[in-house]
Amino acid sequence: MAGIELKNIKKSFGDKNQVEVIKNIDLDIKDGEFVVFVGPSGCGKSTLLRLIAGLETPTAGQVFIGGKDVTNHSPLERGIAMVFQSYALYPHMNVYDNMAFALKLASRPKEEIDVAVRAAAKTLNIDHLLNRKPKELSGGQRQRVAIGRAIVRKPEVFLFDEPLSNLDAALRVKMRYEFARLGETLGKTIIYVTHDQIEAMTLADKIVVLNNGYISQYGAPLELYKRPENIFVAGFIGSPKMNSIKAKVINTNAKEAQILINNHSEITIKINSDLRIGDDVTVGIRPEHLFISENKGLLDAKLQFVEELGHAKYAYFETADDKDSEVKITLQLAPEFNAKIGKNHSLSFDLSHIHVFNKDGKNVTLF
Amino acid sequence: MEKLKSLFFNLIVWLLVFLVAFPLLWMVTTSFMHSGEAASFPPPLLPKSPTLNAYHELFAGNHIEVYFFNSVILAVCATILSLSFNVMAGYAFAKLRFKGRDAMFNSLLSALIIPAQVGMMPLFLLLKTFGLVNTYAGALVPWIASVFGIFMVRQFSQSIPDEMIEAARVDGANEFQIFTKLIIPNLTPILVTLGLFTFLGSWNDFMWPLIILTDNQSYTLPVALAVLSREHVQDSELMMAGAVITVLPVLLLFLVLQRYYMRGLLAGSVKG
């Protein structure tokens, strides 16, 4: 049993702790969950992982692994294994010795080490590479060795720090699938850090979206996609990102609000929080929930660019909001739609998929 | 045109090689001449009938093997001491986090501008107080740690990825195990380079052994040769044989370790 609990974790760097990277984080990860930390560069996701690994000491707060307070324990005492972004293989050792290193340090019997290394190598399909040095391996093979080095120790928790970011696109997709399979095979608690939201969506049981040292939202991938709690999560999860259109509240009661979009279209949505007349809000709508309307729609926009991906087609429109600022709108087109660049279109959207964010960025839509 | 250019540069290189190698070659050939032969006019380039007389006299008459042995002992000990201290300090300055690390390193670097000779007298007085004058321990003191050595190791250590050290920590290695099992093997090129520099420096050092070693039985080769040259000022053949004995071991050492040494020297320029 090795769930992970973080209580009021803070981490600052600098001589006088002037750079606050992690700002009071509470998190509860259940045993056996595959959790992905995702967020933009500098949001603190890798620092949070290193705090769990014991490679950094928190400025405040506690780390619990398997119910035990490990805040001041060394990485070894935490029962974790970590795979680094650069793989961090030992260049002077061959694959076998790289994988056996931790067990040798623990003075385990030679036979046991041999069985463990060969079994892990077979699982990862690298048993034919055991005598090679890291420099003689490809990126994908190095990645497997790094994972193998983690597996042989049979830890309770696996930590992966952007393990696919150094691989090319094709290999990344392949390894992503292998990671998903590995997660199921191991059945251990896994924390995986990435800035790629597709990796997060495809691998995770739960996603932690971090922004500026805080957790923006923690939940299942589809929950984050369908019900983002704030405008940051709405924009970060989903590709292409959710469209954001500035709007104004023109009428409201406790349960509903009337919103004016683009100075001429009114929509009514159910809300779960107080809005006041005159409030500036942001309307969010995903590209797949927008469509080109034959009649007068909610927005008029000019087609600027079409992205043909084969399986999908994305159109990029430009319009103006109520302050006459330029707004870019992305829309998923039907594959057979014949788009003409420069043409004006009227756009509509499915009101059941709309999100309204108040001026603080909080999602106030009632789902 | 290209061919002419290449020929010209080749000629220049060969000329430089000749200028550098000629004194060394003449040293070797003279050491095989009969006594007084090198002083004849015009001076011969090659011995008329090669002989080992000069070497025989060096070993039988002047016990050069004692000084050779002294030099070997001191150079080997200096190399071991220098490698141990400089590598540990250089690694610590590069990779370990401790308060005042950068300030301490900068103050060490600033000490580089002080010439070694300036420190000799205070060091001598200090060692005299400790009773280390005329001892090998006293002769080894200046070699224990050098700012240049620490700097070299630090620069090279910085190219070792932090993640590799952290991976070892996660694998359960303590700081000593990280140092011995990971850092030392990865520092091999710079260890060879620093070791060679130190060995050469100690082997060729004349001034400090002359100051600190007063008993002629503990003289090193350069000091012994200087004394010998005063006694046998006219005997060029004997002097050259002594010079060959002095130069040959370090030349061989350099050639054997050249591969690693070059890698160590180039490392800083090609590694991130």
If one compares A9 and A261, the residue with the highest pLDDT of the two is A9
Residue A95 near residue A130, CB atoms below 8 Å:
yes
Distance of CA B150 to the CA centre of its chain: 16
How many whole angstroms separate alpha carbon A219 and alpha carbon A198? 15
How many whole angstroms separate alpha carbon A143 and alpha carbon A202? 19
CATH of A4-235, one of 3.40.50.300, 3.40.630.30, 1.10.150.240, 3.30.70.1730: 3.40.50.300
pLDDT confidence of residue B271: 32
| Average model confidence (pLDDT) across chain B | 87
Residue A206 near residue A30, CB atoms below 8 Å:
no
pLDDT confidence of residue A252: 87
By Cβ distance, the residue of A85, A86, A101 closest to B171 is A101
Least confident of A58-72, A239-253, B84-98: A239-253
CATH superfamily assigned to domain A241-357:
Nucleic acid-binding proteins (2.40.50.140)
**Best mutation target, A74, A101, A157, to test chain B (most B CBs within 10 A):** A101
A198: distance to nearest CA of chain B, Å?
A: 26
Most confident listed range (A152-166, A194-208, B75-89): B75-89
Cβ <8 Å between A88 and B166: yes
By Cβ distance, the residue of B170, B177, B182 closest to A53 is B170
By Cβ distance, the residue of A80, A85, A90 closest to B170 is A80
Q: Is A87 exposed, middle or buried (0-12, 13-18, 19+ CB in 10 A)?
A: buried
- Listing DSSP states for B24-82 in one string gives HHHHHHHHTSPTTGGGSSSPPSS-SS---HHHHIIIIIH-HHHHHHHHHHHHHHHHHHH
B161: distance to nearest CA of chain A, Å?
A: 8
pLDDT confidence of residue B177: 94
pLDDT confidence of residue A29: 93
Cβ <8 Å between B163 and A153: no
pLDDT confidence of residue A64: 94
Least confident of A89-103, A339-353, B69-83: A339-353
Residue B150 near residue B90, CB atoms below 8 Å:
yes
Of chain B, the percentage scoring pLDDT greater than 70 comes to: 95
Cβ <8 Å between A106 and B172: yes
Cβ <8 Å between A92 and B185: yes
A329: distance to nearest CA of chain B, Å?
A: 42
**Residue B269 predicted with pLDDT over 80:** no
Contacts B180 to A, Cβ<8 Å:
none
Q: Which of B7, B29, B138 is nearest to B78 (CA)?
A: B138
How many whole angstroms separate alpha carbon A347 and alpha carbon A339? 14
Token pair of B70 as six digits: 């002294």
* Helices and strands, number each (H, E), in chain B: 15, 0
For A296-351, write each residue's pLDDT tens digit. Answer: 878 888 888 888 888 888 999 888 665 566 778 899 888 777 778 888 888 888 88
pLDDT confidence of residue B237: 86
The answer to whether A153 contacts chain B (CB < 8 Å) is yes
pLDDT confidence of residue A324: 60
Give yes or no for a cis peptide into A240 (omega within 30° of 0).
Answer: yes
For B176-226, write each residue's pLDDT tens digit. Answer: 999 999 999 999 888 988 998 899 899 989 899 988 888 888 888 888 888
Cβ <8 Å between B164 and A92: no
Contacts B171 to A, Cβ<8 Å:
76, 101-102, 105, 149, 153
For B105-131, write each residue's pLDDT tens digit. Answer: 999 999 888 888 888 888 999 999 999
Cβ <8 Å between B161 and A74: no
**Best mutation target, A85, A86, A107, A193, to test chain B (most B CBs within 10 A):** A86
**Residue B45 predicted with pLDDT over 50:** yes
List the alpha helices (DSSP H) in chain A.
Answer: 45-53, 95-105, 110-123, 139-151, 169-186, 197-203, 221-226, 231-236
pLDDT confidence of residue A322: 54
Contacts A91 to B, Cβ<8 Å:
164, 186
How many whole angstroms separate alpha carbon A319 and alpha carbon B76? 79
A47: distance to nearest CA of chain B, Å?
A: 13
The answer to whether B182 contacts chain A (CB < 8 Å) is yes
Residues forming a β-bridge with A158: A81, A190
Sign, CA torsion A257/A260/A261/A264: positive
Domain ranges of chain B: 61-270
Residue A351 near residue A341, CB atoms below 8 Å:
no
A87: distance to nearest CA of chain B, Å?
A: 8
- The pLDDT confidence band at residue B272, using thresholds 50, 70 and 90, is very low
- Listing DSSP states for B147-174 in one string gives HHHHHHHHHHHTTS-HHHHHHHHHTT--
For A175-193, write each residue's pLDDT tens digit. Answer: 888 888 888 888 889 999 9
How many whole angstroms separate alpha carbon B205 and alpha carbon A211? 61
B151: distance to nearest CA of chain A, Å?
A: 23
Least confident of A199-213, A214-228, B248-262: B248-262
What is the fold, at CATH topology level, of the domain defined by B61-270?
A: MetI-like fold (1.10.3720)
| Average model confidence (pLDDT) across chain A | 88
Where are any strands of DSSP class E within A174-298? 189-194, 206-211, 214-219, 243-252, 256-261, 265-270, 280-285, 290-293
Residue B146 near residue B86, CB atoms below 8 Å:
yes
* Helices and strands, number each (H, E), in chain A: 8, 20
Residue A29, classed as helix, strand or coil, is strand
Domain ranges of chain A: 4-235, 241-357
Rounded to two decimals, the ipTM of the complex is 0.82
Sign, CA torsion B124/B126/B129/B133: negative
pLDDT confidence of residue A128: 92
How many whole angstroms separate alpha carbon B137 and alpha carbon B147? 20
**Residue A160 predicted with pLDDT over 90:** yes
pLDDT confidence of residue B263: 67
Cβ <8 Å between B163 and A88: yes
pLDDT confidence of residue A189: 92
**Residue B268 predicted with pLDDT over 70:** no
Distance of CA A332 to the CA centre of its chain: 22
Token pair of A61 as six digits: 């707060």
pLDDT confidence of residue A101: 94
